[in-house]
Amino acid sequence: MHPSDAALVEQCLKGQKNAFEAIVLRYQHRIYHMALIRMRDRCDADDLAQETFLQAYRHLRSYDPTRSFRNWLLSICANLGKNRLRRRARRREVHHRYPEAGGSSCTEDHSRMDLVAGLHNIPEKQRIALFLKHVEGLSYDEVAAVLKIGTSAAKMRVKRGRDQLVQYLSQP
């Protein structure tokens, strides 16, 4: 039986650093995925995921165990990603429109490439809302809490994201 997030956090706070490794292993793919959706660049996504876990560890004492650890982690990633995008906009860096070919990219089929291209065609705010809703499976209230916006704004972002994704993928 796997220990709960709250139990792992408690162990971390008691000085058992290895408990945090279990947390990282549990959430690394989700966080990395979210970072990639947000940053559209594998290097940046890797950095963002790493920074997310680092910040979570540093602020572990401020985590409220009565709330979802996953959502707390996602909100850290969302905030850090927002800051990184701002910095990138200030530096006017040219980023890759599509994710670079990674280790598994050779095996990705055409359909997957289309989906990724469609996702990256959506504005960042809607893209991240769509990810949280449909990939992470959060409710609208949870999406709103992670992004620190109202529920109606979260709904609107998801709706617009869906429309744009379908429109992109429906193009001949």
Partner 1 sequence: MGLYDVKQEDILLHDLLDQPNLDSEASKVRDADRQRLLLYRDVLQRLEHYQEAAPGDLASRVMSGLPDRPPIRWTDRLRAIWPERRFRAVTGFAGALALLLVVAGVTFLWSRREPVLIPVVLDLYAPSARQVELVGTFSDWTRRGLRLKGPDAVGYWNIGLRLPPGRYEYTFLIDGLNRVPDDDGEGLRPDGLGYENSVIILNTGNGTFHPQPSVLSSDAYVTLSEDDSNLTTLPVQDRRQWQAILGRGIAAGLQGEELEAALLGLAAADVKPTEVQTILGPLFQDVQAGIYARHLLLKLQEAAFKRAPRETLHSIARARYDAFKGARKLLANTGHMASIQTEPALMCATAFALESGQDPSLLQEALRAGKGKPPGRVAAVIEAGEILHHAGLEPESLAPIMRGCLEKDLEKQEIKRLTQRIRRELQKGTDPKIIQHELWHRQACMRSSFTS
Contacting partner 1 (CB under 8 A), which of 10, 33, 88, 151?
A: 33
74 near partner 1 (CB under 8 A): no
CA distance 64 to 70: 12
Give the total residue count for the chain. Answer: 172
Question: Which runs of consecutive H residues, i.e. helices, occur in the chain?
Answer: 5-13, 17-39, 42-58, 69-91, 110-121, 124-130, 140-147, 151-170
CA distance 31 to 154: 20
162 near partner 1 (CB under 8 A): yes
Residue 40 · residue 120 · CB < 8 Å: yes
- Kindly indicate which of the ranges 13-21, 73-81, 90-98, 146-154 contains the residues binding partner 1, using the contact rule CB under 8 A: 13-21
Contacting partner 1 (CB under 8 A), which of 86, 100, 135, 141?
A: 135
150 near partner 1 (CB under 8 A): no
- Kindly indicate which of the ranges 72-80, 83-91, 108-116, 141-149 contains the residues binding partner 1, using the contact rule CB under 8 A: 108-116
CA distance 72 to 172: 40
Tell me whether residue 87 or residue 134 sits nearer to partner 1 (CB atom).
Answer: 134
- Kindly indicate which of the ranges 22-30, 72-80, 83-91, 143-151 contains the residues binding partner 1, using the contact rule CB under 8 A: 22-30
CA distance 40 to 34: 10
What is the Cβ-side half-sphere exposure of residue 82, based on CA atoms within 13 angstroms?
A: 10
Residues that bind partner 1 (CB under 8 A): 12-13, 15, 17, 20-21, 24-25, 28-29, 31-33, 36, 46, 49-50, 53-54, 57-62, 103-104, 111-112, 115-116, 119, 130, 134-135, 137, 155, 158-159, 162, 165-166, 169-170
